[in-house]
Amino acid sequence: MIKSNIKLLVLSFLLLISLRPLQSAEMVEPIKVDWSFKGLTGTFDRAALQRGFQVYKEVCASCHSMQYLSYRNLGEPGGPEFSEQEVKAIAASFEIEDGPDSQGEMFTRPGKPSDKFKSPYPNVQAATAANGGAYPPDMSVLVKARKGGANYIYSVLVGYEDPPPGVTLDDGVYYNKYMTGNKIKMPNNLMDGLVEYADGTESTVDQMAKDVTTFLAWAAEPELEERHRTGVKVIIYLVLLTILVYLSMKKIWSRIDSEV
Amino acid sequence: MSEHEYTPKSKAGKWFNDRLPLLTLGAHLTDYPTPKNLNYWWTFGGILTFCLITQIVTGIVLAMHYVAHADLAFASVEHIMRDVNYGWLIRYIHSNGASMFFLAVYIHIFRSLFYGSYKSPREVIWIIGLMIYLLMMAAAFMGYVLPWGQMSFWGATVITNLFSAIPLVGDSITTWLWGAYSVDNPTLNRFFSLHYLIPFLILGLVVLHIWALHVPGNNNPVGIDIKKPSKDTVPFHPYITIKDAFALLVFMIIFAGFVFFTPNVLGHSDNYIPANPLVTPAHIVPEWYLLPFYAILRSVPDKLGGVILMFSAIFILFVLPWLDTSKVRSAVFRPIYRQFFWILVIDVLMLGYVGAMPAEGIYLVLARVGTIYYFLHFIVVMPVVGYLEKTDPIPMSISEPVLTGGAEPSLARKANDKV
């Protein structure tokens, strides 16, 4: 009786859920990519992270900040895992404002691994003004801040198209198949061969989009690999303990003539 | 309460127990005679205690690193996620813990509805439980505001604006709640303060909830009064403790699945965008566990009406023990009420679903139908069915399913088997 009721319940709920596609039919679903960091044991592709960092540094970083990351993160386990020397060199290539010194003056110095990523603009207003009134969002947690996550970011990067007939665009506005509302103020910055990859990989638009998206996915969830690893261990432990407790329960309840 | 007097064996124990009978309390909790036919729906009390303790412990650690300031809150959460040792784990346990807490409390409440656990002599347990539920909703709402993302800010704006619907003094009350002329830094500060306070109020009410439970003792799937202790009961320890532990572990496996593999699936992606008073999100939606009430709120075209109806949806539960006219507790023996119970479950699930959808077209119609049915269930169905229903024969005791007459001798077993 209860079982049939639960079936009825599940059925009617599924019916309700199935109404959903009708409602969002007009939205273009992002391209599904088989990311290496998907799934229960997913990890990042180290080489892709390093290439992605290069794309970020040479292309994205001229407008987008990444204020919650530090240069030291680039050398930490589970990330791009640059060597200590490389991390120091990357940090030192940026001039960081520090101070005030003992005279009360601000000064600049080469970056250290403990510094946060240098932002391209001093504040949100400056970034907005320099980009035609659209603030280029900080990319630290961008992958977590968009429905569709990594798939969505990748899709937008490769989703630039000529506008369909009948759609007119203002100056400085571009047509993108996957962007919500299809209008985006970020121009299509990726073109084949734009970046010269240190590891010799051919820098097609698709390759760069995948690499930089992988980098952004790590930036948003630097704990992902450790989380997956720990999670597998925790669940194995819990399952074993559950079995032991179940057997203990059966044993204890066998003392009386009652089912458990 | 305890059936036999407890005397500590050691002299020191006796000395202490004469002054503060903690050992007597411990003995009472261990021996506490519990119906032996409790099914797994009864394990959620223990699970909920675990949830509360988990939220308090992880919350205290988070508060050591969190900064309650409009300019710093978002960054401090990222600091926890990136720089605090295992900060990501503690925060994900806390944020998913809220959802697991509500999942468990909804099962606990619907269990009570099915087996009539709210009925005499357990009305006070029920009412204290509802007070806990109300405080849980307040704590969860304020906790969701703390990361100061877009949904935090706009969720807080929508909910606090509800109070402006109160005639005459509404606007003043809203300003007083905000501590400013909009949701701003003072609002965040007081929400943090209250978010830290409420769990301890809940803890106090939980003690009362359990105290009140131990006066009449547990209800059970058959819903009949039983003699305690008797062959219908087992001591709480080890029989119920081991069973609760088993159920808790199964629950923890699901909990861990969320925390480690899909930690953000129950949240909204917009909350990883820092709060911006100048940009309103396309759809402002609360967390899933508040959606049915959100649907009720939006089903009324009038703001004040919506607010009144939403609060009524909760407060009507407080008088439920007196709206239900049936003499029989368990729905196992109530063939008509049982059907209405499942319709109510579907109705609440549907309200939750439409609460997540835009309030227009078919969703608005469904929300209105769902809201009307919700109230009809309590105001009309409960009293009327209680009077008219011909209940099935009830067994005399759990062990001996001696029937008061009539056919099916398997009924008592059915109640036993339901797991």
- Is A116 at the interface with chain B, CB within 8 A? no
Q: Examine residue B14 and state whether it is found in any structural domain, yes or no.
A: no
The CATH number assigned to the domain holding B292 equals 1.20.810.10
Q: What DSSP state is assigned to residue A75?
A: G
Q: Examine residue B45 and state whether it is found in any structural domain, yes or no.
A: yes
- Is A124 at the interface with chain B, CB within 8 A? no
Q: Examine residue B4 and state whether it is found in any structural domain, yes or no.
A: no
Q: Examine residue B26 and state whether it is found in any structural domain, yes or no.
A: no
State whether B353 and A9 contact (CB < 8 Å): no
B353/chain A closest Cα distance in angstroms: 8
| Sequential pLDDT tens for chain B (419 residues) | 444 578 999 999 999 999 999 999 999 999 999 999 999 999 999 999 999 999 999 999 999 999 999 999 999 999 999 999 999 999 999 999 999 999 999 999 999 999 999 999 999 999 999 999 999 999 999 999 999 999 999 999 999 999 999 999 999 999 999 999 999 999 999 999 999 999 999 999 999 999 999 999 999 999 999 988 888 999 999 999 999 999 999 999 999 999 999 999 999 999 999 999 999 998 999 999 999 999 999 999 999 999 999 999 999 999 999 999 999 999 999 999 999 999 999 999 999 999 999 989 999 999 999 999 999 999 999 999 999 999 999 988 887 654 444 444 444 444 444 43
Site of tokens 């799934």: A39
CB pairs under 8 A between A and B: 107
Cα→Cα distances A52→A37, A75, A150, A200, A211, Å: 14, 14, 13, 13, 4
Q: Which residue of B has its CA nearest to A12?
A: B346
- Is A248 at the interface with chain B, CB within 8 A? yes
Instruction: For B224-255, give one letter per residue: b (16+ CB within 10 A) or e.
Output: bebebbeebbbebebbbbbbbbbbbbbbbbeb
CATH class in words for A26-69+116-222? mainly alpha
Dihedrals phi, psi of A44, to nearest 5 degrees: -85, 150
Q: Which domain holds residue B236?
A: 32-417
Which of A228, A251, A260 is the mutation pick for testing B, counting most B CBs within 10 A? A260
State whether A235 and B253 contact (CB < 8 Å): yes
A232 burial class (0-12, 13-18, 19+ CB within 10 angstroms)? Answer: middle
Q: Looking at the partner chain, which of B250, B260, B342 has a beta carbon nearest the beta carbon of A228?
A: B260
Q: Examine residue B351 and state whether it is found in any structural domain, yes or no.
A: yes
State whether A235 and B256 contact (CB < 8 Å): yes
For chain A, what percentages of helix, strand and coil (3-state, to nearest 5) are there?
A: 45, 5, 50
Q: Following CA atoms B326, B331, B337, B340 in sequence, which dihedral angle do they give, to the nearest 10 degrees?
A: 140
Q: Examine residue B22 and state whether it is found in any structural domain, yes or no.
A: no
A200/chain B closest Cα distance in angstroms: 32
- Is A234 at the interface with chain B, CB within 8 A? yes
Domain limits of chain A? Answer: 26-69+116-222, 223-260
State whether A23 and B357 contact (CB < 8 Å): yes
ipTM of the complex: 0.91
Contacts of A74 in chain B (CB under 8 A): none
DSSP E strands, B133-212: none
Cα→Cα distances B67→B58, B188, B275, Å: 16, 10, 15
Q: Looking at the partner chain, which of B92, B246, B253 has a beta carbon nearest the beta carbon of A246?
A: B246
State whether B243 and A260 contact (CB < 8 Å): yes
Count of domains forming chain B: 1
